[in-house]
Amino acid sequence: MTNDRYWRERRGMLRLESLNDFQWRRLIERLDKAVAEAARAYLRHLHARRVSIRSDDWDLELDELRLAREPDYDEPGLPLVYALKYMPRRVMSILGSLLAVDIDRYPSSVLDIGSGPGATALALDLINAPRHISLLGIEPSREMIAFADSSRFTWRVTARYQEGSLVDGTLGRLPLDPFDLLVFSASFPYHFDEWGALLGALGSYAENAGKMILVVEPEAKADILDSFGRRLRARGWPARTFCCHDLPEIIKRDDLALKHMQEVWKRIGSPGSTPPRTWWNPPDDKFLIANPEPSWPLLGEARMATVSGTESRPSLPEKAHGQP
Ligand SMILES: C[S@@+](CC[C@H](N)C(=O)[O-])C[C@H]1O[C@@H](n2cnc3c(N)ncnc32)[C@H](O)[C@@H]1O
């Protein structure tokens, strides 16, 4: 048994297929507390800057998303309502899609592009992987970064966030080699079409056998996800796409109240029509995983140089999650 598999089986790493009711409650409680604590810390930050609480306005601004338009994520306060409304659902989506890839090794270094309030860091923390994970978030909105910097309630993940964008050449300037996993969670702007710069920064599969890419987008941006998938495949990346309906049912349970988040939500005037929840449909989420069998090192192994064709790759079980 590999070290990683030992850890997964003995040390409580999250396994969706055998999650019992007690573990489900603990997971949701951790999620609830982490988002609520970040929201309270960000609220203190708003008070210190004398930003008045206009939660209904922020909720209205976020409605742009439903009209396939970008809200102003840089409006002070908006990330608070975004996090209460969307962060649990985004966390469950990232967590569910990553665990749908049945691998027995884990990333140690993650680049989260369009990191927003820090959903990826929280999802990775809840997965309880046997490695410590470092995460760098790239995000154009300073206000989102301020919220994410308030979201330091993770044990297994150390996150830092810096300003940058998909469309300003940030990825081209960053050395991407050190990252095991690249995450794009609902971060493509509507009508994104700067593929040349993005694909150029990512490089070909031959140069990236140790890297996995996870893309999550709601149905309304499925064309962007599909287009990204086609372009990656054309550059040799093996890629799978699937939908939230392919995830284990447990991910989509919505039976436990997010009590701590609801307390914050009430405190700021109960914006929107529903209290914070873990899951709802529609919209469906679609997932793209490029390189679902990355040659990430096992526990105790050093990272291997990414040289085309020289890495030993694990033999992994076939999954049936809606492969194209
Ligand atoms: C819907 S939120 C998703 C946030 C986070 N990834 C999540 O899963 O909750 C979209 C995020 O993408 C960011 N964003 C918008 N345009 C971007 C761009 N050109 N490059 C990178 N991020 C962008 C926004 O500022 C916002 O934080």
pLDDT tens-digit map of 164-203? 999 988 999 999 999 999 999 999 999 899 999 999 999 9
For residue 175, is it within any domain? Answer: yes
pTM, rounded to two decimals: 0.90
Q: How far does Cα 203 stand from its chain's mean position? A: 22
Quick: pLDDT tens for 94-152: 999 998 887 777 899 999 999 999 999 999 999 988 889 999 999 999 999 999 999 87
Exposure string for 245-273, b = 16+ CB within 10 A, e = fewer: ebbeebbbeeebebebbbebbeebeebbe
Span from the CA of 304 to the centroid of ligand 1 (angstroms): 31
Which residue, judged by its Cα, is nearest atom 27 of ligand 1? 116
Span from the CA of 141 to the centroid of ligand 1 (angstroms): 8
For residue 128, is it within any domain? Answer: yes
pLDDT, average across residues 65-80 = 94
Give the count of beta carbons closer than 10 Å to the beta carbon of residue 164. 20
Assign residue 185 a region (left: φ > 0; alpha: ψ between -120 and 50; beta: otherwise): beta
Domain housing 124: 20-290
Asked whether 113 lines ligand 1 (CB < 6 A), one says yes
Q: Which residue out of 187, 285, 287 has the highest number of ligand 1 atoms within 8 Å of its CB and is therefore the one to mutate?
A: 187
For residue 45, is it within any domain? Answer: yes
Quick: pLDDT tens for 109-122: 999 999 999 999 99
Predicted local distance difference test score (pLDDT) of residue 153:
78
Predicted local distance difference test score (pLDDT) of residue 312:
36
Span from the CA of 249 to the centroid of ligand 1 (angstroms): 27
For residue 114, is it within any domain? Answer: yes
Burial class of 319 by CB neighbour count within 10 A (0 to 12, 13 to 18, 19+): middle
Count of the separate structural domains present in the chain: 1
Vertex 149, ends 73 and 11: CA angle to 5°?
A: 120
Tokens of 274: 């529903």
Q: Could you give the 3-state DSSP secondary structure of residue 108?
A: coil
For residue 13, is it within any domain? Answer: no
Quick: pLDDT tens for 10-60: 455 677 878 889 999 999 999 999 999 999 999 999 999 999 999 999 999
For residue 263, is it within any domain? Answer: yes
Tokens of 218: 């709601």
Residue 88 reports pLDDT greater than 90: yes
Which residue, judged by its Cα, is nearest atom 1 of ligand 1? 186
Provide the pLDDT confidence category of residue 300 given band limits of 50, 70 and 90: low
Q: What is the mean pLDDT of the chain?
A: 88
Asked whether 71 lines ligand 1 (CB < 6 A), one says no
Asked whether 139 lines ligand 1 (CB < 6 A), one says yes
CB 217 within 8 A of CB 283: no
For residue 115, is it within any domain? Answer: yes
| Integer Cα distance of 156 and 16 in angstroms | 19
For residue 50, is it within any domain? Answer: yes
Residue 309 reports pLDDT greater than 80: no
Q: Sign of the CA dihedral 60, 66, 69, 73?
A: positive
Query: By mean pLDDT, which of 65-69, 80-84, 133-137, 274-278 is the weakest?
Result: 65-69
CATH assignment at residue 208: 3.40.50.150
| Integer Cα distance of 169 and 160 in angstroms | 19
Which residue, judged by its Cα, is nearest atom 23 of ligand 1? 114
Span from the CA of 39 to the centroid of ligand 1 (angstroms): 18
